[in-house]
Amino acid sequence: MNEPLKIGIIGLGKMGGIRAATVRQHDDTVLISGTDPNPPKKGFNDMKILPDYRAVIESGVDAVFVCTPNRFIPEVVIAALDAGKHVFCEKPPGRNMADIERIMAAEKRNPGLVLKVGFNHRYHYGIMEAKKIVDSGKYGKILWMRGVYGKAEGSGKPGEWRNSPALAGGGILFDQGIHMLDLFRHFNGEFNEIKSMCTTA
């Protein structure tokens, strides 16, 4: 049997906890280390809690989950790739094109590594079934698409990082609407042209 893939988790909030639970379900992965500016008192006793993301990257891990607020994702992803680690990062991977281009350059510099972004909605059962129908051509070609996305909790609490322009950077469109944009691409291919108007209320 191969050695289990050694995992570090950078950001131990809600998503870090979900990713840790997933790692624990697989015999071929093992939690090694994690970090968070406010480490939880429980739930992560099976890993070393380290002072910062650099320490996690240097702790002998093979791969990292990047579960930080949006502002920090590009810096952490690039550092991990350049240190030879596979990376799964939450979305959005960047807050502007410069962020994305820097990440793409790091990925290109490290062709033997895997970089994945958390576009999990593609794997919801209803989406997979709808994709089969669209791909079959049974009802013809998609001519127009519209998406509506609601979020009932998690973004309206006082002190929540998603409410901070400095940490989140784009409101609900960046944080959740990006799933809808990904599904548009998933169902209908890449965009040829983009025109947009965006506001946050």
Under 8 Å between Cβ of 28 and 5: yes
Least confident of 8-22, 69-83, 143-157, 164-178: 143-157
Spatial separation of the C-alpha atoms in residues 78 and 180, rounded to whole Å: 25
Q: List the domain boundaries for the chain.
A: 5-117, 122-188
pTM for the predicted model, two decimal places: 0.87
Instruction: Indicate if the pLDDT at residue 156 is higher than 70.
Output: no
E-state strands within the chain: 5-10, 29-35, 48-49, 63-66, 86-89, 115-117
pLDDT at 33: 98
Strands 63-66 and 86-89: parallel
**Terminal-residue alpha carbon distance, the chain:** 54
Residues contacting residue 53 through CB under 8 Å, at least 6 positions apart: 10, 35, 64, 68, 72, 76, 79, 80
Spatial separation of the C-alpha atoms in residues 153 and 118, rounded to whole Å: 19
Q: How confident is the model at residue 17 (pLDDT cuts 50, 70, 90)?
A: very high
Kindly state the percentage of the chain with pLDDT values over 90. Answer: 71
pLDDT at 171: 73
The two tokens of residue 87 are: 């990376």
Average pLDDT value over all residues in the chain: 91
Q: Residue 5 class from Cβ within 10 Å (0-12 exposed, 13-18 middle, 19+ buried)?
A: middle
Q: Which of 92, 76, 72 is nearest to 175 (CA)?
A: 92
Instruction: Tell me the one-letter amino acid at 166.
Output: A
Instruction: Indicate if the pLDDT at residue 45 is higher than 70.
Output: yes
CATH of domain 5-117: 3.40.50.720
Spatial separation of the C-alpha atoms in residues 126 and 128, rounded to whole Å: 5
Section 110-137 average pLDDT: 96
Section 29-44 average pLDDT: 93
- Answer left, alpha or beta for residue 8, where phi above 0 means left and psi between -120 and 50 means alpha: beta
